Amino acid sequence: MPEHVILQFDAPTMTIVLNDPDRRNALSHDVFDDFEQCLDDVDTAIDSESCHVLRIRGEGPAFCAGFDLGAMADGALPSFLERLGAICRRLRHLDAIVVAEVHGPALAGGCALVSACDIVHAGPDAAFGYPVHRLGISPAVSLATLVPGTSPGAARALTLSGESLDADAAVGIGLAAAAHSDRSALSDAVTTLCDRLGAMDAATLRATKRFQNELDGTIDAEVFARSLAASLATADSEEFRARIEAVMHSRRSG
Amino acid sequence: MNTIALGTELVTLTTDGAIATLTLNRPDARNALSLEMIAAMEEALEKIEAGINGVRVVILAGAGKGFCAGMDLKAVQDDPILMGDMLRRLAAVSRRIRRLDVPTIARVQGAAIGGGCGLMVVCDFSFTHPEAKLGYPEVDLGICPAVVAPFLVKRIGAGRARAMLLAGGTMGGESGFAAGLATHLVPMDELESATTAFAERLAKGGPEAISATKRWLNELDGSLDDEQLAKGAEISAELIQTEDAQARLRTLFKR
């Protein structure tokens, strides 16, 4: 039974809850295992035509703080990139409308997940960004969905600068659809949206989503493969190993 | 002001100096797009494409309180095949508007809904006012807005278009302006004068430079991609012919 990521059903809406709050829902071996299991169950529910809306949220202070640093230091980065890329592709190709409810930071891999969702709502303390070049990691794996979801210019600036955006700025570049003034307003708005989507015709929504994917190029598995390859190209570099080791060292001594 | 004769009054075409105005003229039905209206637009577009002496800008307008309430599906409610044909012809009309050699401005007062909002984003510029009602509520009705998606994506970006089309609903003029549906937001009582003033400014530009720029922009953003534009119409047409969509529409029309 997955516990680091939980899947809840309230047909026709499913909710994936990232549930490792003490580690700010960082993507670890356990979280990936459970996330993949939950997505298998999501596929089953969609195939049975009982559900066509998927809500994703995080438990605790953060939506998702990116990859687990300790695991990366132990050599997990290439497999983490592959698993993240696959999850992003699955979310984008899912025959359900995927709604992200983002409170707190959604950084690096967390921001990649957000960029793969169809509709994103952000809370007052949300933060979006890719502060990973400083670790010697390329966020290119996220560009397959970030570029078409925002604009080439905005995606370029966000990934290269390493800066993070607040909720309003995320709305400004099209990464989020709406920003909310407090946590309960965020949650209420996402519930209302999911209820609205749930009342709509599943086949129609599916057709619209598929054509959107075709229009913006994300229907193409090759785009995800190239995006991943660009991140993998530097995943085993000396530079990455030296930088992650320095981070771990300062953590141990700090 | 000169009026150019068309075979119907459902659409009017007038010129005033360098500015031609194509007006949807079915105010009693909030300019809902019937098959006859689409045919009238085709006729007007033929005249514009053939070249009207001195015309350098086209304004697309709607007579009465609203710009365009979208497709008049009720009028063909017993004929899903005809609904599909209407969608295909609307897509073709949109493509022709997009490819006119002169810049186009939608002057949007009141409602621009569904296909009406689609016409708004096909134009190079769109003027509206805060009290306007804009959007794509197609998914709320169980129909698929794929036909308008290509130009919406080009206008506001794929991410915003995704959220807008999948969530359905409508929005006011200010939100529409913020989202990029409209390029200009002016007070309602200045809509006509502001649009005309802007059109006159455009008309002063070098016409060859403007049409070359417009052609290159069309090439850059995929507006010359016949296959993609046709596909959007096909998807919408296919979906509207399903029993599910038809049942939803029948319920809607009964209200």
pLDDT digits (tens, 9 = 90+) for A137-194: 999 999 999 999 998 888 998 998 888 999 999 999 999 999 999 999 999 999 999 9
What is the average per-residue pLDDT within B145-172? 94
Mutate to test the interface with B, among A201, A209, A214, A216 (most CBs of B within 10 A): A201
**Residue B205 pLDDT greater than 90, yes or no:** no
How would residue A237 be classed by pLDDT, with cut points 50, 70 and 90?
confident
A208 contacts B160? CB cut-off 8 A:
no
Among A23-32, A216-225, B220-229, the range scoring the smallest mean pLDDT is B220-229
Q: Which of B139, B156, B231 sits opposite A200 (nearest CB)?
A: B139
pLDDT above 70: percentage of residues in chain B: 100
A200 contacts B140? CB cut-off 8 A:
yes
A197 contacts B239? CB cut-off 8 A:
no
**Higher local confidence (pLDDT), B108 or B51:** B108
Question: pLDDT at position A252, please?
Answer: 84
Q: Closest by alpha carbon to A227, among A140, A155, A111?
A: A140
pLDDT above 90: percentage of residues in chain A: 83
* CATH classification of the domain holding A181: 3.90.226.10
How would residue B209 be classed by pLDDT, with cut points 50, 70 and 90?
confident
Q: Which of B167, B228, B232 sits opposite A196 (nearest CB)?
A: B167
B144 contacts A118? CB cut-off 8 A:
no
Complex confidence, ipTM: 0.71
Q: pLDDT by residue (tens digit) across A113-122?
A: 999 999 999 9
User: What are the domain boundaries of chain B?
Assistant: 2-208+222-254
- In chain B, residues with a C-beta closer than 8 Å to the C-beta of A200 are 139-140, 142, 168
B2 burial level (CB within 10 Å; 0-12, 13-18, 19+): exposed
A215 contacts B150? CB cut-off 8 A:
yes
- In chain A, residues with a C-beta closer than 8 Å to the C-beta of B232 are 211
A254 burial level (CB within 10 Å; 0-12, 13-18, 19+): exposed
CATH number, domain B2-208+222-254: 3.90.226.10
- In chain A, residues with a C-beta closer than 8 Å to the C-beta of B239 are 203-204, 207
What is the average per-residue pLDDT within B225-238? 92
With H, G, I as helix, E, B as strand and everything else as coil, classify residue B108: coil
- In chain B, residues with a C-beta closer than 8 Å to the C-beta of A170 are none
**Higher local confidence (pLDDT), A198 or B245:** A198
Question: pLDDT at position B78, please?
Answer: 84
Question: pLDDT at position A254, please?
Answer: 67
Mutate to test the interface with A, among B143, B154, B162 (most CBs of A within 10 A): B162
Integer Cα distance of A110 and A130 in angstroms: 9
Tell me B131's DSSP state.
T
**Domain total of chain A:** 1
Tokens standing for residue B246: 């038809």
Tell me A12's DSSP state.
T
H/E element holding B24?
Answer: strand B19-24
Q: Closest by alpha carbon to B37, among B9, B77, B13?
A: B9
A208 contacts B157? CB cut-off 8 A:
no
Which chain A residue has the Cα nearest residue B138? A204
Question: pLDDT at position A1, please?
Answer: 66
Question: pLDDT at position B206, please?
Answer: 82
With H, G, I as helix, E, B as strand and everything else as coil, classify residue B217: helix
Q: pLDDT by residue (tens digit) across B64-83?
A: 999 999 999 888 888 889 99
**Residue B204 pLDDT greater than 90, yes or no:** no
Integer Cα distance of A123 and A57 in angstroms: 11
A203 contacts B167? CB cut-off 8 A:
no
Q: Closest by alpha carbon to A96, among A66, A116, A80, A82?
A: A116
- In chain A, residues with a C-beta closer than 8 Å to the C-beta of B144 are 204, 207-208, 211
- In chain B, residues with a C-beta closer than 8 Å to the C-beta of A204 are 138-139, 142-144, 239, 244-245
- In chain B, residues with a C-beta closer than 8 Å to the C-beta of A207 are 144, 146, 235, 238-239
B244 contacts A203? CB cut-off 8 A:
yes
- In chain B, residues with a C-beta closer than 8 Å to the C-beta of A215 are 149-150, 153, 158, 228
Tokens standing for residue B228: 């993609």
Q: pLDDT by residue (tens digit) across A42-90?
A: 999 999 999 999 999 999 999 999 999 999 999 999 999 999 999 999 9
Which chain A residue has the Cα nearest residue B223? A215
How would residue B207 be classed by pLDDT, with cut points 50, 70 and 90?
confident
**Residue B109 pLDDT greater than 80, yes or no:** yes
- In chain B, residues with a C-beta closer than 8 Å to the C-beta of A212 are 149, 153, 158, 161-162, 165-166
B167 contacts A119? CB cut-off 8 A:
yes
Q: Closest by alpha carbon to A125, among A187, A57, A188, A183?
A: A183
B162 contacts A204? CB cut-off 8 A:
no
Question: pLDDT at position A236, please?
Answer: 84
Three-class secondary structure assignment of A39-55 = HHHHHHHHHCCCCCEEE
How would residue A231 be classed by pLDDT, with cut points 50, 70 and 90?
very high
Would you list the DSSP string of A89-130?
Answer: HHHHH-SSEEEEEE-SEEETHHHHHHHHSSEEEE-TT-EEE-
Residue A140: how many other CB atoms lie within 10 Å: 21
**Residue B90 pLDDT greater than 90, yes or no:** yes
Which chain B residue has the Cα nearest residue A202? B142
Contact call for residues B147 and B87 (beta carbons, < 8 A): yes
Print the domain residue range for A162.
5-253
Q: Which of A177, A201, A211 sits opposite B149 (nearest CB)?
A: A211
- In chain A, residues with a C-beta closer than 8 Å to the C-beta of B143 are 204
> Quick one: how far is CA B56 from the chain centroid?
19
DSSP-derived pairing of the beta strands B19-24 and B11-16:
antiparallel
Beta-carbon contacts below 8 Å between A and B: 90
A32 burial level (CB within 10 Å; 0-12, 13-18, 19+): buried
